Amino acid sequence: MPYVLAPSILSADFANLQRDVEMLNNSEADWLHVDIMDGVFVPNISFGFPVVKAIQKHAKKPLDVHLMIVDPDRYLSAFRDAGANILSVHLEACIHLHRTLQGIKALGMQAGVAINPHTPIESLSEIIADIDLVCVMSVNPGFGGQKFIENTYRKVKTLREMIRAGGSHAKIEIDGGVSMDNAAALLQAGADVLVAGNTVFSAKDPVKMISELKSIG
């Protein structure tokens, strides 16, 4: 079954952003994963609206925007205007998650929920039918190039069953530490979307690496 591969711009060369976005346009990548960090929800700051707009200006593929920020409700329309097609908020950052998801959909975007490694996947059981994408964090959010957390497989299997039982159409995305070593097992466990930052951008030939990752599916 073909799956969605979403290289993460966080690992791109920001001094050559247009070049790297065009590289992704001309590759087998399906989406561009765009990580937004506020230095509060996570211990790192990435980039904001002007950079997302610059990415969108050159991107020919959907922008999958992952918000690692507190109080994301304040910025939903700004991210839509900056070009987000899929917008994911963190479960841990939302007091009224159901309301936030309705807000994202009302703006015409697909609504995603990202979940930290320590958060039980069961926390999504009451809301699974309202979610378009579940972003299962397989590292602690904040940085690229971290080590994959093995417990992710168990979470993905439980989530796959929850989606089936709940009549949900949610896609399962894995974010963090994805490589040629674990991609096949993650797809086998039930993942639909793989994010890959370091694996793609530290490769000698990123287009070839994308092609190799895609050939696993």
Q: How many CB atoms lie within 10 A of CB 155?
A: 24
175 noted as active-site residue: yes
Give 13's strand partners: none
C-alpha count within 13 angstroms, C-beta hemisphere, residue 133: 27
By the rule CB under 6 A, 35 interacts with ligand DX5: yes
Q: Which does 139 bind (CB under 5 to 8 A by kind): ligand DX5, Zn ion, none?
A: ligand DX5
Q: Give the strand pairing for 171-175 and 110-115.
A: unpaired
Residues 34-93, interacting with Zn ion (CB under 5 A): 35, 66
**145 binds ligand DX5 per the rule CB under 6 A:** yes
H or E element in which residue 80 lies: helix 76-82
Contact indicator for 115, 83 with CB cutoff of 8 Å: no
Which listed residue (175, 178, 189, 196) binds Zn ion by CB under 5 A?
Answer: 175
- C-beta neighbour count of 74 within 10 angstroms: 9
Size of the site for ligand DX5 (CB under 6 A): 22
Binding of ligand DX5 at residue 177 (CB under 6 A)?
A: yes
Write down the catalytic residue from 38, 64, 132, 175: 175
Which is nearest to 9 in space by CA: 25, 26, 33? Answer: 33
User: Is the CB of 56 or the CB of 198 nearer to ligand DX5?
Assistant: 198
Report the partner that residue 142 touches, choosing among Zn ion, ligand DX5, none (CB closer than 5 to 8 A by kind).
ligand DX5
Binding site for ligand DX5 (CB under 6 A): 8, 10-11, 33, 35, 66, 139, 141-146, 175-178, 195-199
